[in-house]
Amino acid sequence: MVWQYVVVAVASYLMGAIPNGWLVGKLTRGIDIREYGSGATGTANVLRSLGLRPALLVLLADVLKAYVAVLATWYIFEPYEGANTAHNLQAVAGVAAIIGHDWPAYLGFKGGKGVAATYGSFAAMLFFPLTVPGLLAVAVAIVLTFRYMSLMSVITVLMGGAAFLGLALAGVVPYAFAIFGGIASALVLFQHRENIRRLLAGTEPKIGEGGRRRLQGPAQRLWPFHKM
């Protein structure tokens, strides 16, 4: 039924929109992370602007919010609607969580770039042993070799999407997961379009670079309770 998809999409969006990077910046340094580095609220900009420990905290929190949204969808709907519908709803939950992370209503629709939320969704789609450990190994190798977070993000998400497509063609996962992988990859590419241009031009900041305060721009829109 249509209402199930609407409920899952709205709930997952609101969970994905929890601005963990912004919260960590406020609680640890009293700053708005959107005023530093790239202006994004995700792990890469927190690492660039605040350091390793806050970045690891944000990474874990952003992975978990999507993971919980997608996994909870399975447990809530599978007993009543069956596996096919539950898998479709999981794909909706994953996309909605990523959109919430990228464009959170809580912060005037300016958030992160969706990588950690994509990882969380991948991990929740019942095939953690088949996808996440391999992606993590590739991610570490890219970061240690090239020191570009954006390069690691784009490559690993595309690999995850390709893995889901291959698993779907092999009959291991439902095609809904492959569709999710394609949409998630497209969203990450879109959010990294400026990073890709800088990578091609050789001007992309490496890890540890580019965390300076940004020039002041138009005032950010916030919900009243965010005026901390």
Phi-psi sector, 3: left (phi>0), alpha (psi -120 to 50), beta:
alpha
Q: Find, among 8, 17, 19, 1, the residue nearest to 226 by Cα.
A: 19
Q: 226 lies in a domain?
A: no
Radius of gyration of the chain (CA): 17
Q: 53 lies in a domain?
A: yes
Whether the pLDDT of residue 14 is over 90: the answer is yes
Q: 223 lies in a domain?
A: no
Q: What is the DSSP letter of 36?
A: B
**Mean of the per-residue pLDDT values of the chain:** 89
Q: Distance between CA atoms of 13 and 101, rounded to whole angstroms?
A: 8
Q: 90 lies in a domain?
A: yes
Would you state the pLDDT for residue 129?
Answer: 59
Q: 225 lies in a domain?
A: no
Indicate the angle between helix axes 20-29 and 43-50, nearest 10 degrees: 20
What is the average pLDDT across 101-118? 95
Q: 131 lies in a domain?
A: yes
Q: What is the domain count for the chain?
A: 1
User: pLDDT tens-digit profile of 77-87?
Assistant: 999 999 999 99
Q: 220 lies in a domain?
A: no
User: pLDDT tens-digit profile of 153-203?
Assistant: 999 999 999 989 998 999 989 999 999 999 999 999 999 999 999 999 999
User: pLDDT tens-digit profile of 22-69?
Assistant: 999 999 999 999 999 889 999 999 998 899 999 999 999 999 999 999
Q: Domain limits at 163?
A: 2-215
